[in-house]
Structure 1
């Protein structure tokens, strides 16, 4: 029964088996290093997620491409119906007529309607009415997506590129540093640190939540050094640098904070592998008092001094 409880506690949903020494569960940017294959195409589709999370450049390019595709489609329909069903068209060649129907479609879908070209006849009016309704719905959707992107809080918490094994109290500790480079206020910042490594003589991995010196700070205007004491209760106790590499140790850190400016809860995560950990080092202090203020040099987030381990 106790063994079952322990196994359930250690299940982080990141797969216990690792066939490769190069496997990394969480990338440095916080994304999971997992790819799902053989998923049916329509089950993979998630337009809202893709449009909200993609870059601004790709978002506007996607909107622009969709706008042109719809107008090309309706311009083709008007050409098929016949330009004689549109008043005020003067094009003679097919290209000239298609150009006029394209711009008429653009005016119709945006409900702009300059007035020179207008539909006559039942077929042309039905198509124009359908396009107007489609335009209203599409632009309402685009507006919602735009608002969703602006209202979605994106934290840019910076993590130190390295972790360190440094002397701490009467022993040693694993430490990383985090800072919020933006001016938005983050409150009640909670940190969760876990570690995974390969079991001895096995390809399976075990996962452990690590006890922290402090797992929450009420305010986060400065730099926070997250510390895990490596004492007798730590799964890392007496592990050497060589064992870190051989057992493919990976630390996973997750931060949860309340963003005062957006009134939303933010999440951020990153990871550290054995080769990204410096042994016998301690982060240097980044603060400098000047003009009655505490200045934090964010560029020195990875600076450290060599120290002898306990």
Structure 2
């Protein structure tokens, strides 16, 4: 990628001067300009633009102290050129003017967004794909731990490395036993040949018939371990060492074959880690049943882990002691609706009610913007095809939790085909709704105060009605006590 350069202003005016007082009175200052004479100019030093000033006139000096541009008016330009051509014929000063980088340009050059450097990713405990973002450094006997638990290492590693490992295992066993057979034959004197290439007869039967070189012993080793048996090479009863080594090779070959079949079978029938699961990209906070709740959505596309599905959520947040000590990221489990158990027949919205037991009980919308935490969601299920347990994970940073949104409905019933239809493309679709910006604690306090006010007003209204009823009864009693005589006004 070519290096970025600053824009250059190149000008080649023939400025012919003898005395500075002959320059026109009107001058124009130039800011942020670096004047650099060409190599043919007698002036080798650069003249900084900081020396240029806007003046009404310039006093004569013995040497150049500033460079001034020509006037902008056409008449003044013609007059200036005519005057200079007549008076200055012995000296020409071609000038190259380059624009210096401003502070804003230098700041932009250091900013990653201006030269293609990717911004720093936020710190996460678990990636969005579910992989653990933790690297164990200076772990003692790290390689030995992988070899000690070789079965799980081969199951978890990629296919290419598994195939490469077993290929080396087979070739290593063939070559090793071929070398052992060659040593036994050499010790028995089977490798003594004449100039014509025939074995020298020494009155004994060779250990491996027709094996005259290392290639022959290698082919015998391969045929013995894979049970091919062409009949060209075979051991004799005169060499018990070769028979014993052959038995050991057959046992080791069976062990390698059993390991290949077992590892391959486990890797084939094992459910994929995270391919069939999908979590929503964002979590939301909204009101449900009059309470603030945190929601996120999960889906199982292939319906292969819908048996006994359980979801758990954990909060990771850096803790600080009252003394100001940073303890590290604390882990706290948060409660989910129905204890996290769902029947994942279609995409489910997982709900966490923000109550007194919730770590978000005192968190408002403003606090959500200021706090830094990570919510890790874990889903486990049993494959209905193989009966094996599988787990999927994802995480939500505080910046990935939106306040005042909810998920849209993506399931509807198709009366034409008489079945439910779910739109997977809208799994992450959310809409904005009216939600209180205060915390759940403050929200409950406001509701409690409003209820108290309503109850007090209701009681006052009831007491007023009772007083009115009593007053009317008193009036009726007074009317009955006067013997039917009423005063007429």
Unpaired runs of 5+ residues, structure 1, are 1-20, 91-96
Alpha-carbon separation, structure 2, partners of 1:195 and 1:114: 66
For residue 409 of structure 2, the aligned residue among 274, 285, 289 is 285
Alpha-carbon separation, structure 1, partners of 2:221 and 2:412: 62
Residue 106 to residue 237, structure 1, CA distance change in 2 (3 Å): same
Counterpart check, 1:42 vs 2:144: yes
Counterpart check, 1:213 vs 2:337: yes
For residue 400 of structure 2, the aligned residue among 260, 276, 283 is 276
Counterpart check, 1:296 vs 2:422: yes
Once the two structures are superposed, residues 207-254 of structure 1 have per-residue CA deviations (whole angstroms, 9 ceiling, x without a partner) of 332222333445311001111122444211342466446542111222
> Which residue is equivalent to 2:176?
73
> Which residue is equivalent to 2:45?
none
User: Please, what TM-score do these two structures have when normalized by structure 2?
Assistant: 0.51
Unpaired runs of 5+ residues, structure 2, are 1-120, 192-206, 437-489
For residue 28 of structure 1, the aligned residue among 128, 143, 150 is 128
> Which residue is equivalent to 1:54?
157
Counterpart check, 1:191 vs 2:311: yes
Alpha-carbon separation, structure 2, partners of 1:298 and 1:55: 30
For residues 1-310 of structure 1, the aligned pairs below 5 Å read: 23-36=123-136, 37-40=138-141, 41-45=143-147, 46-82=149-185, 84=191, 85-89=207-211, 97-120=213-236, 121-154=239-272, 156-184=276-304, 186-199=306-319, 202-204=325-327, 205-217=329-341, 219-240=343-364, 243-244=367-368, 246-290=370-414, 291-310=417-436
Aligned pair count reads 284
Larger Cα-atom Rg: 2
Alpha-carbon separation, structure 1, partners of 2:422 and 2:272: 22
Q: Considering fraction of residues, name the structure with more strand.
A: 1
Cα shift at 1:308: 3.7
> Which residue is equivalent to 2:195?
none
Alpha-carbon separation, structure 1, partners of 2:348 and 2:230: 59
Question: Which structure would you say has the larger RCO, counting Cα contacts within 8 Å and 6 or more residues apart?
Answer: 1
| Contact persistence 2:312–2:340 (CA under 8 A) | no
Q: Per the alignment, in what secondary structure is the counterpart of residue 198 of structure 1?
A: strand
Alpha-carbon separation, structure 2, partners of 1:245 and 1:87: 83
Q: Per the alignment, in what secondary structure is the counterpart of residue 254 of structure 1?
A: strand
Alpha-carbon separation, structure 2, partners of 1:24 and 1:181: 26
Alpha-carbon separation, structure 2, partners of 1:286 and 1:117: 70
Residue 202 to residue 124, structure 1, CA distance change in 2 (3 Å): same
| Contact persistence 1:283–1:304 (CA under 8 A) | yes
User: Please, what TM-score do these two structures have when normalized by structure 1?
Assistant: 0.77
State the Cα RMSD in Å: 3.0
